[in-house]
Amino acid sequence: MRRVLASAAAALCLAGCGGGAADDGGNDREPARETLSIATGGRGGIYAVYGAELAQLISSRLDGYRGVAIESSGSVQNLLRLRDGKVQIALTLGDTALDAVEGREAFDRPVPMRALAQIYPSYVQLVTAAGSGISTLADLSGKRVSVGSPDSGTQVVAERVLDVAGIDPRTAFQRKRLGVAESAQALEQGSLDAFFWSGGVPTGAVAELARRSPVALVDLSRFGRELRARWGGVYEIASIPAGAYGLRRAVGTISIPNYVVVDEHMDSALAYDLTKLMFDSRRELEAVDPGAAVLDPTRAGRVIAPVGLHQGAQEYYDRAGP
């Protein structure tokens, strides 16, 4: 692996990452490492655990760098932080990434970024308690429903699904804006009737809820074609398999790719090394996120054209071959 060392001028000692004080003369200090901050997600979601593991791998295996995982509300906030230089790496849903590079919806101007990889698909999940009587979007009328936390990719896709269905979330039901962990807790406690979530399967917070109390998922697959027509080719009709969350049969839904993205001006050699690190560390990433098992060079390099691959990542895939 090629290593890109921080320049001497920029190599400032970061709190918590340096070695112990040298004897008397101050010699033999551990070289300072450049911090790579990763915008991840909220508690209970896959971004949080995936990003934390990736940060640890950067710290332990990428010479000259220290990885730091930063929790967030989700994709929109992650990409705003990337745009503003507050993080160097971000996890994002593909539809939010498409909005960002085109400067639309939540983004008042384009975000200059490129992808390192498509890592796994997320599935749009509308979760309710088994026996709740909620089996269609129309059944949400008058109910207490979370559409995802503010500035999250879940909120983006939830509101698009509802728009396609002709349902106004501001008037049709009591709208809540909670993260997945808070939503699962509220559903179990009876203060919420249903919640949207967009994430890998299984997602920890939903799986834990299902182990304690049976859940049901609403079929959303009928809205996939219209979503794709209106907002771009990142949406695919898919299904959540039987057995997930204790489901007796598969449930139709929509899938969205997840990307690891960086600023388009990131050094190409560093982008190469980060991409290689993810592939070299698949076993560790899979241990915290089973979805990482689908990572392979052919699939990972499939990134929607307006976003595109970083030059360094493209170089890795070219060398890796088919």
pLDDT digits (tens, 9 = 90+) for 222-266: 999 999 999 999 999 999 999 999 999 999 999 999 999 999 999
Q: Which pLDDT tens digit goes with each residue over 262-289?
A: 999 999 999 999 999 999 999 999 888 8
Looking at the fold, whether 177 and 134 belong to one and the same domain comes out as yes
Q: Which of 225, 240, 256 is the last residue of a domain?
A: 256
CB 89 within 8 A of CB 50: no
CB 40 within 8 A of CB 50: yes
Cα distances from 32 to residues 69, 112, 269, in angstroms, run 19, 28, 19
Looking at the fold, whether 166 and 216 belong to one and the same domain comes out as yes
Range from 25-29, 100-104, 299-303 carrying the lowest mean pLDDT: 25-29
Amino acid letter at 14? L
Number of domains in the chain: 2
Looking at the fold, whether 166 and 210 belong to one and the same domain comes out as yes
Looking at the fold, whether 116 and 137 belong to one and the same domain comes out as no
Looking at the fold, whether 49 and 156 belong to one and the same domain comes out as no
Q: How confident is the model at residue 29 (pLDDT cuts 50, 70, 90)?
A: low
Residue 140: the pLDDT is 98
Distance in angstroms (rounded) separating the CA atoms of residues 184 and 172: 21
CATH code, domain carrying 146: 3.40.190.10
Q: Which pLDDT tens digit goes with each residue over 127-170?
A: 999 999 999 999 999 999 999 999 899 999 999 999 999 999 99
Residue 13: the pLDDT is 36
Residue 320: the pLDDT is 87
Looking at the fold, whether 264 and 115 belong to one and the same domain comes out as yes
* Structural domain includes residue 155: yes
Residue 218: the pLDDT is 98
Q: Which of 221, 256, 291 is the last residue of a domain?
A: 256
Looking at the fold, whether 157 and 231 belong to one and the same domain comes out as yes
Residue 20: the pLDDT is 35
Q: Which of 256, 278, 311 is the last residue of a domain?
A: 256
Distance in angstroms (rounded) separating the CA atoms of residues 151 and 78: 9
Amino acid letter at 144? R
Looking at the fold, whether 205 and 115 belong to one and the same domain comes out as no
Residue 301: the pLDDT is 94
Phi/psi region, residue 130 (left: phi>0; alpha: psi -120 to 50; beta: rest), is beta
**Which has more pLDDT, 202 or 70?**
70
Q: Please give the span between the terminal C-alpha atoms of the chain, in angstroms, as a whole number.
A: 20
Q: How confident is the model at residue 321 (pLDDT cuts 50, 70, 90)?
A: confident
Looking at the fold, whether 137 and 241 belong to one and the same domain comes out as yes
Give 281-297 as a DSSP string. THHHHHHH-GGGGG--H
* Structural domain includes residue 168: yes
* Structural domain includes residue 81: yes
* Structural domain includes residue 272: yes
Looking at the fold, whether 223 and 304 belong to one and the same domain comes out as no
Q: Which pLDDT tens digit goes with each residue over 33-79?
A: 999 999 999 888 889 999 999 999 999 999 999 999 999 999 999 99
Domain enclosing residue 95, as ranges: 34-120+259-320
Running DSSP on this structure, what letter comes out for residue 62? S
Looking at the fold, whether 165 and 78 belong to one and the same domain comes out as no
* Structural domain includes residue 20: no
* Structural domain includes residue 25: no
Q: Is 85 exposed, middle or buried (0-12, 13-18, 19+ CB in 10 A)?
A: exposed
* Structural domain includes residue 179: yes
Q: How confident is the model at residue 295 (pLDDT cuts 50, 70, 90)?
A: confident
* Structural domain includes residue 24: no
Range from 31-35, 79-83, 215-219, 228-232 carrying the lowest mean pLDDT: 31-35
Residue 8: the pLDDT is 35
Mean residue pLDDT of the chain comes to 90
What is the rounded average pLDDT of the residues 7-19?
36
Amino acid letter at 316? Y
Strand partners, 259: 92, 118
Q: How confident is the model at residue 205 (pLDDT cuts 50, 70, 90)?
A: very high
Looking at the fold, whether 163 and 244 belong to one and the same domain comes out as yes
Q: How confident is the model at residue 16 (pLDDT cuts 50, 70, 90)?
A: very low
